[in-house]
Amino acid sequence: MVCMENLKQLCYDNKIILAPMVRINTLPMRLLALDYGADIVYTEELIDHRLIRCYRKVNETLQSIDYIDKSDATVVFRTCSREKPYVVLQIGTSDPERAAKAAQVVEQDVAGIDINMGCPKDFSLKGGMGAALLFNPDKACAILSAVVSAVKIPVTCKIRVLEDIDDTISLCKKLAATGVAAIGIHGRTIKERPIHPNRNHFIKAISEALNIPVIANGGSKEIKVFEDIIKFKNVTGCSSVMIARTAEKNCSIFKKDGKLELFTVIRDYLHHAVDYDNVAPNSKYCIQNMLQNIQETEQGRLFLESTSLQQICDLWELGDYCRQKQKKMNYLRFEERDVACNDQKRIKQNSTDEEESNYVNSLKCMYIRSLYPRPEDLPKTKLLNWAKKHNKPLPKYHTEQFEKLFKSTVTFDNQKYSSSFWEKNKRWAEQGSAIVCLHYLKVYDIDYMKINGILG
């Protein structure tokens, strides 16, 4: 068995690996898997177009490296020094040139690149990505060859088996000939789902036919404890094992001395989510997949009602820790959004005589959802109630959009108010303008805004 192992390159032989999973494999989950004993961790699939659109930022506050979409300031990929020797970034692609370019964008911060050739979702298939490449082996090989030539780190691919074992072996031999360091094999076809048995005998035959590491995947249904990972490895005769669904439910499956109680796993996950400013919807999605039936308990019900990372952390007695951390991080959001606007050749300035004559009261302030846990606390609601209490005309909002960013102006009592900060959606932009108006109405003072990281 050939293994590309030296001081600088990742080895795929005899490893236990966190498999790529969409929306699950963000930085907190990858770090959690490493904490519990995983040897290698894959990212979720990241599409080549988005990676190419990113700029690299050293995030001093989080001690991370961020790849940020220039169009809307979204963090597409966040990594850190802790995982650099072990993280493999999976690319979704249908084009050799784009795949190579995307791989080069992130090459300096990851240990390996993987090309997704196994995803059966319609989004991937319609775009010629994922499992669609299984039926276009020439393009699949061209993509792998291009990426292998473009980067100095190991390149792999992850596939599903075909209906016929001989056809699958033939395809794998072609893929291996491109110079990839390993091949991950999910033992089901594109049409099969977890209810179907994993074709372990296919994986074993492929392992025997190739002279590079083969990574077995698809055995989660039989993997309940760590010892089952070793059984799966032996049954498939593979070099390494890649785990998805079992790790998604309880990441401590990687611990050789036994799994941890689920609430401990969730607390450990939340520590990473807070430390690396993971967005609340993603953190909630990951925890929801861990909880499963526990969602029906009182704590589960409160969790489902939560809308912010702070609220989630409160349920696991980490609320104070989260609040303390987030105050230090809020200013980053100003900086990242400013870069996005600058890279868009600046937001278009309206220059009509009518608009120039209408003075707008403006502050650079940001709407932070977690500061307003109750509906009545929301700035728009607070402004509406203030207007009713003082018998004023109701506020009216006008929102403009540039690319994927929004800025709103609220007209209230014959005055206009706006934040110069561009938000990611219309609702947030309207809340931002309401904050400015409430400040001028002396509902929010400068100290309140500075302490909570609202004011830039």
Q: Choose, from 119, 238, 251, 322, the residue flagged as catalytic.
A: 119
Q: What is the DSSP letter of 22?
A: T
CB 344 within 8 A of CB 402: yes
Torsion angles phi and psi, residue 393, rounded to 5? -60, 150
Token output for 76: 């597409």
Burial (Cβ within 10 Å: 0-12, 13-18, ≥19) of residue 50: middle
Please, what is the Cα angle at 378 between 375 and 379, to 5 degrees? 155
- CA 281, CA 111: separation in Å to the nearest integer? 28
Tell how strand 64-69 and strand 75-79 pair up.
antiparallel
Q: Which amino acid, one-letter code, is at 22?
A: V
- CA 194, CA 444: separation in Å to the nearest integer? 53
Q: Which helix (H) or strand (E) holds 48?
A: helix 48-52
Q: Which amino acid, one-letter code, is at 422?
A: W
Residue closest to 277 by CA, chosen among 222, 342, 322: 322
Q: Which residues contact 172 (CB under 8 A, 6 or more apart)?
A: 159, 183, 185, 206, 209, 210
The CA distances from residue 310 to 314, 324, 361, 440, in Å, are 6, 10, 31, 28
Q: Which residues contact 195 (CB under 8 A, 6 or more apart)?
A: none
Bridge partners of 41?
Answer: 18, 87
Is 119 catalytic? The answer is yes
- CA 88, CA 427: separation in Å to the nearest integer? 36
The CA-to-CA distance between both ends of the chain, in Å, stands at 57
Residue closest to 248 by CA, chosen among 38, 11, 13, 12: 38
- CA 384, CA 395: separation in Å to the nearest integer? 7
The CA distances from residue 378 to 21, 22, 449, in Å, are 34, 32, 14
Question: Within 13 Å and on the Cβ side, how many CA atoms surround 203?
Answer: 32
Residues in the chain: 456
Give the residue numbers annotated as catalytic, written as ranges: 119
